[in-house]
Structure 1
């Protein structure tokens, strides 16, 4: 059986034990990265294809005559034409819950940096302002406590709930977004999405990207938020309209934002948010998931998925 890994470099394999995957009874062809134009040739005779960010279109899937399994080094499935895979009876399996702890840690690092102004005060200590101060401390930036504030969580899956549990430990009031068109129930800790935006001090996104929620956070939604509110997005960049977010930050319509994702990755030169002058904005280069432990769990989970498939079993199958 032939297997192809299209973009192994994207999981940072050099510090991982990948033997559990590579020792499977498959003849592996491993590529560090694969361009759009190289996909067809590389998967043409493969029985198993593993990918993280390389897209597999209808055309790619149709011409891969032997393809039986597409395994994702990721949770999101939007890079795969699932309809095309289903039409050819190809199993598509994703990875789940492998990076929950890593992402939760990153979410709260962003929140704490923005609410305690860690970067600003670190700079104040090293640029001479503390030495020149007439007081024992520097109080140039407003610091906010989390206790008693409202945390609005959009997406109540494992990751959203894990982020919420930390919010509860900080003494926050946690609310989850309710979308009436999708949720037929009400609960004390759910608020209709627009109301959640209005009442939350921090809004954090943990929902998958679909064709229906592109620009979930746009100009209208940002105007609903408190002028002191913080927006966190570690989910998918296209959930947030970047031009609208920039405008809201410049005008002071929200208090700040912490992003680990952008609409295009890597971003194109001149991305509207990659500007040092924007106030209260922290951007990290899609690193929330990359802890050593999370990436090792990812390799082991994907290996388990492929191993089970070879025995005729399907796990984490989305199609």
Structure 2
């Protein structure tokens, strides 16, 4: 039951108000009609799932709300039937279906919405497997197998999660950060090879320390480009809400400090995840905060698949 880990049960009307307050706090767009329609469509899933809020350090970026939910029902079909997603026969629309058909153990894992845009992403758990298993998929961007040597060079042998990003017409591949991999030298080489500079990671020691609980790496590719657009290094369950522990973590940009402090939550002990994003464009930071069904408690009960963004 939600009550054992949340202060109150799910209430769709309150959730809409909380999303509006969070969007207002960080200056993100809020389209109430789109938000309301998404919640009405997926109210049951939202009410029974881990729910997170997310934003970035970039001014004007969206306020995202996502639920992690494994179901036999196809949420993309549901979204299309309710006008949340246009019929999509392109690879981005068929990627999840092919993963489920061809990769044993794969599962649907939920949806992500932007309060100003609408349905942004769908999540797919691939099962923990060699990243080379993704190369055989007909719907995967050619850029993914083209980076096989890059994955090997930077110790990324295993993938576990894929996202289809309808908002940006891209997709994400998530890999495990293998034990002992995340060193200052590894980080410098990765940043340098992807168009960044050493000054993009001025607080390397604290950043690497933030990965101690768990870490993964997400990379963005598209069907229209041979390159990797960006990559993000995720620290999971990072204690930014603990005043004492927070002093030893990398400082958050102002927009994320506001989000951390002012975004509503039902969780009695919200989980916070942070990601540092790099690429040829300027680096930025992402922050996720539990809204409902605190992840550590839910994971301990075995009731969810936890997957990052």
User: Do the two structures share a fold, i.e. TM-score over 0.5?
Assistant: no
Q: Kindly name which structure, 1 or 2, has the bigger radius of gyration based on alpha carbons.
A: 1
Range of TM-score over shorter length: under 0.3
Relative to its length, the structure with more strand (as a share) is 2
Using CA pairs below 8 Å that are at least 6 residues apart, which structure has the higher relative contact order?
2
